[in-house]
Amino acid sequence: MKSTEKHENDRPFDWKGRTVLVTGGTGSFGKMFTRIMLDEFQPEKLIILSRDELKQHEMRNSGFDHPNMRYFIGDVRDADRLAMAFSGVDVVVHAAALKQVPACEYNPIEAIQTNILGGRSVIDAALRCGVARVLALSTDKAVNPATLYGATKLCAEKLFIQSNAYSGKSGTRFSCVRYGNVLGSRGSVVPLFKEQKKAGCLTITDKRMTRFWMTLEQGVRFVISCIEDLRGGEVFVPKIPSMTVTDLARAIAPECETEEIGRRPAEKLHEALLSEEEIVHTLEFADRFVVQPAHPWWTEEISYTDGKPLPDDFQYTSDQNSEWLSLDEIRKMAGVT
């Protein structure tokens, strides 16, 4: 006989009274997530977990010192510490990762230890502590990966999605969010262009290059909505616009020359947010795509009644996008006056 009891995640989600933890919470995403959470959603407790005491100190002194906040020193590689940190937590947002492509290539074992095995530690701790919802942040680099960073994020996605099988129908539910480049995040090309503007010349690796772009706030709000909607096993992909790198340079410094210096090793000309293999089990919604799990052993189905299947020849790549940013929109996003 099937149980008629609803899982906690099947009910409408309310942030009030919840305890929320963000791994890697001192980064750009964590700070914006914290600000929006405290200002608009008022969880009972918001825990920032990271391994750098200085960044936590700087974050606290820059205005993130709310009575509902807690700061935890810890590394996602340390399963025991995570189990302690996750005790009593309702929602985990897993944002911690090694993200710089050259650093991951030069330190491959470190990238695997943090991005893959650290993900496993997050999963184990969430299962042990009975966390209701876990959402892991991924990247377009995980689609047809050409770098070790992308490969580690693809592995992490697979780990989080299939870990629903360990919790079954009534335990922790795991999902992922995958999106493209974020304006204002660490490593963004925008600060580089603004600095190069002072010298009068911007360097571009390939003038044909296109990228998906969104603001940090848009990314955070999308993550929040996905946490509210997740059922376990999905990869959420936002519908976001594209831009060309030449338009970005023109928007930031129209008076400057540009110099094409050639693509870096493994740098893609265009980015993809959905792979060809995922199209057959992806549904389209007004503001997003939802990649349903290919092997949902933990449940009979993830029921989305209002999603639209995609045609077999559909592509979601930055050069084939239906939405493009104008120069004015790029300037506004980049904070250029």
Instruction: Kindly report, residue by residue over 121-137, the tens digit of the pLDDT.
Output: 999 999 999 999 999 99
Is the per-residue pLDDT at 301 higher than 80? no
Q: Picking from 153-167, 222-236, 294-308, which range would have the lowest pLDDT averaged per residue? A: 294-308
**Domain of residue 27, residue span:** 14-182+213-240+272-316
Is the per-residue pLDDT at 210 higher than 70? yes
Instruction: Look at residue 144 and tell me if it is in a domain.
Output: yes
What percentage of the chain reaches a pLDDT higher than 90? 85
Residue entry with tokens 């360990």: 166
Respond yes or no: is residue 45 known to be catalytic: no
Residue 7: band (very low, low, confident or very high) from pLDDT cuts 50, 70, 90: low
Gap between the Cα atoms of 164 and 275, Å rounded = 22
Mean pLDDT of the region 9-22 = 86
Mean pLDDT of the region 86-102 = 96
Report pLDDT for 10: 58
Per the prediction, the chain carries an average pLDDT of 93
Gap between the Cα atoms of 334 and 317, Å rounded = 22
Instruction: Look at residue 206 and tell me if it is in a domain.
Output: no
Residue 135's nearest CA partner among 272, 280, 307, 20 is 20
Of these residues, 31, 55, 99, 141, which one is catalytic?
Answer: 141
Is the per-residue pLDDT at 278 higher than 70? yes
Is the per-residue pLDDT at 81 higher than 70? yes
Residue 235, CA distances (Å) to 17, 90, 178 in order: 26, 20, 7
Instruction: Look at residue 195 and tell me if it is in a domain.
Output: no
Residue 4: band (very low, low, confident or very high) from pLDDT cuts 50, 70, 90: very low
CATH at 32: 3.40.50.720
Domain count across the chain: 1
Residue 206: is it exposed, middle or buried by C-beta count within 10 angstroms (0-12/13-18/19+)? middle
User: CB atoms < 10 A from the CB of 98, how many?
Assistant: 19
Residue 302: band (very low, low, confident or very high) from pLDDT cuts 50, 70, 90: low
Mean pLDDT of the region 62-67 = 96
Residue 180: band (very low, low, confident or very high) from pLDDT cuts 50, 70, 90: confident
Instruction: Look at residue 264 and tell me if it is in a domain.
Output: no
Residue 38: is it exposed, middle or buried by C-beta count within 10 angstroms (0-12/13-18/19+)? middle
Task: Specify the pTM.
Answer: 0.94
Instruction: Provide the 3-class DSSP secondary structure of residue 183.
Output: strand
Is the per-residue pLDDT at 170 higher than 70? yes
Instruction: Look at residue 1 and tell me if it is in a domain.
Output: no
Is the per-residue pLDDT at 305 higher than 80? no
Is the per-residue pLDDT at 224 higher than 60? yes
